[in-house]
Amino acid sequence: MNRLQWWFLRLSVLFLIPVFLFDLEIIFLLYSFLFLHMSLGLKTITGDYVHNKKLKYFFLILVRLCNFELIRCILEFLI
């Protein structure tokens, strides 16, 4: 490998770093909107169709716990 190839190899890595970070930002943005949409939808469905207050609060807590668990799984997958 001559010097010119070595420099091109190093420069190509430097140019790929911003592209990688740009893709990660889009993925995090996409997942944040996905979880927001899912959470709001499930809370609305629970509020509309579950009339028992204790059961409604139980389902709302369950939705929140499931969201945290899904976020944890997604972060483990990405990292």
Domain hosting residue 37, numbered range = 22-78
Into how many domains does the chain fold? 1
DSSP class of 2: -
Q: Tens digit of pLDDT for each residue in 17-50?
A: 776 667 777 777 778 888 888 888 888 889 889 9
| Cα–Cα distance for residue pair 3/9, rounded to 1 Å | 10
Q: Is residue 5 part of a domain?
A: no
pTM higher than the cut 0.85: no
Which residue in this structure is represented by tokens 């939705």? 63
Asked whether the beta carbons of 46 and 60 are under 8 A apart, the reply is yes
Q: Is residue 50 part of a domain?
A: yes
Q: What is the mean pLDDT of residues 48-67?
A: 92
| Cα–Cα distance for residue pair 42/64, rounded to 1 Å | 10
